[in-house]
Structure 1
Amino acid sequence: MELARTVAIYGSTGSIGTQALDVIRSERHRLQPTVLVASDSVELLASQAMEFKPDAVGIVNSKKARELRSLVDSSIEIAVGDEIFDLVDRAEVVLNGVVGFAGLRVTLAAVSKHRVLALANKESLIAAGEIVNLALSESTAQILPVDSEHSAIFQCLEGRNWVPAETRLILTASGGPFLSSTSDELDNANLEMALNHPTWSMGPKITVDSSTLVNKGLEVIEAHFLFDVDYSAIEVVIHPQSIVHSMVEFSDGSTIAQLSKPDMRLAISRALLYPDRAQAPYGAMGWPTETKLEFFRPDLRNFPALGLAIDAGILGGGAPCWFNAANEVVVSHFLLGEFSWRTISNLLGISMERYDGSKPTSIEEVYYLDESARRVTEAVVRGFV
């Protein structure tokens, strides 16, 4: 009997992590979580450890270490702070479900240890795509995308002979909660409205990013680095039904798409079990179906942040890193209710005007640029608030 594949889940208490554990519950004979890591959600992490009995658990917040130790079995090893990155050695597959720039170190640790990296943390490639790809070229590691759009593209390309320079990628976007909103209505959009996503269940930060379409702009940058396709050949289309998760158009005009009902467990299971597939029918359409499929061009006047993100990707160098950091800062303040939804894109535009044009060539320079962008953007926000 084949042994279960071992999995380390970074961000196990977040949206991606909890859904990954749901997948594992259905695949216990094929998947075994040997490492669970969280930022500071001690009680949920301890509950997960009690259920799945990993070899080790990790907690980023060192102040929570003693509490965690009191809640988990003494046989389970505990890693604290930077020790968590050493735990990538304990699994064959590393799922990076960490939210934001903080996930970059997990990505680099997994690549350096030649692990299969199930990547849900798009910010790793946005902030340091060239550096991560260089590290990949010197490693036997493999990146399997977990974002539904990039998982869809991966599945459309899988097993096919294709040339990046002759291929177009079409990323779909639901349009978020404000798809049908008028300009006047968007002037009055607030936090509660932004968090009311019509089709996906996600964490608050990514839900806000979806409402501004920043998330889609970041996904364009991620797709560029994942599939080596030029920005001019990556397009975003609005697809309110969230059934077609992305498409690939080949040189002969053929378009191949991946369709399923919106369920992140499908993309997660694809990465954790690759090249096999899950036994549970996540996202099954239940054919025949009367589902209507609609596609529109995004409205960049009402959603200017999408254009700002794509422009940062095209500019290259440190611009994507700066934009990502600025967005994390601005969204963190928006989640505190400090300003209206419209203000997000306004503040991002001001911050990008202050990008210094630097091009990081090392991971240390990436961290320095990220810190600089956050400091500048905090000042921009303070000046507004």
Structure 2
Amino acid sequence: MKTTLTAMAAVLALSTAAFAEDKVTIEFAYPYSHLFDVTYEKILPKFYAQHPNIEVKMRATYESYEDGTNTILREAVAGNLPDVTMQGLNRQAILVEKGIAKSLEPFIAKEADFAKDGYHKAMLDLGTFGGQVHGLPFSVSLPVGYYNMEVMEKAGITDVSQLPKTWDEVVEVCGKLREAGVKNPMFWGWNITGNWFLQALMWSQDKPTVEGADFTLDEPEGLTALNTMNDLFDGCEMQNLEWKAALASFASGEIGMMYWSTSAVGAVERSMGDFTLMTNEYPGLVEGGPKGLPAGGNSAMLVSASDDPAVLDAAWKWLKFITSGEGAADVARTTGYMPPNQAANEIILKDFYDQNPAKATAVRQLPLLREWQAYPGDNGLAATQVIYDALEGIVTGEYDDMEELQEELTEEVQDLLPSSS
């Protein structure tokens, strides 16, 4: 008997050793820890239950999408790339153009019934370049309005139907809230990544911010966008808060109206004080609302420098898991993002939005979805920063002549973009 047990122990020891040798470790990097840490905490146990031989090592999170892209570009030069990276939807192209992101077509070709996992064409198109899928979208967001209804009541607003529908109405409500003693009635997310809110004002007029290699801010829609921002910041006496401070201030009940990505709904709900939160459609320049809005969010890309088939297979399994089925559904459950996955939205989340109305606003706005544009060429990130600095100048009062700013900003950004001739 003792001999038998000893033999069994030896077999188990060998099996355990073999199991350890077979374990594959992949490295993964993503942005915005305050939004997504809780998401991956939900996803990882489900992934490990299906793939016990794969370990996902999390790298330090990116501060923003721009930081994520800059980090990957540096790591590609240094030879220190992760296996999978999450990148802003508007930052995928540069990694494809530089040969850093791998085509997912060889992996997709080996999958049986890939479309049945929820990957419909509209989703795949978001990460398709040159006819090849390079990124699988993980989350999609749209800008929405957040409202503290106890604060809004001070302006006589007690029902969702009374919430402002235009930016002029927002300024009007700001005045009423200030009269009622609210020190900071509104925050408008000018500093959100990728000049997203400038593009929101342009798309609201059905105008792209970039056409080919041309920066279109010099057109009438550009001046309307700048004037709208100036009117909002001045009329609401908006404080120049760093975006994390703005979210924290709203969650603590200090701000009545916040215009931001739907992505933060989950984070706000987890940290908010004792007040009634409502979200509502993004206001427009006119009563009818925006004509379009840019799709925010991020995409999973395979950037592994490994030539080990086991590592690449493990990276694909992780990438596929987080963008499909239960993995994608956890995005909606833990954030305010919409999973761009048909199965997650139509099957797994069938009753979710009825039970979570604050997260349903962006879904109602889906017909408005337009491209979140990147500035073309190698200086795209520099152009983003130039625009960021100019928008901050409007907030701080450094710029008050919008026609002059329009001219200067257009010239500076256009000089950074490739020649259109």
With structure 2 as the length reference, what TM-score do the two structures score? 0.34
Highest RCO, 1 vs 2 (Cα 8 Å, sep ≥ 6):
2
With structure 1 as the length reference, what TM-score do the two structures score? 0.36
- Larger Rg belongs to: 2
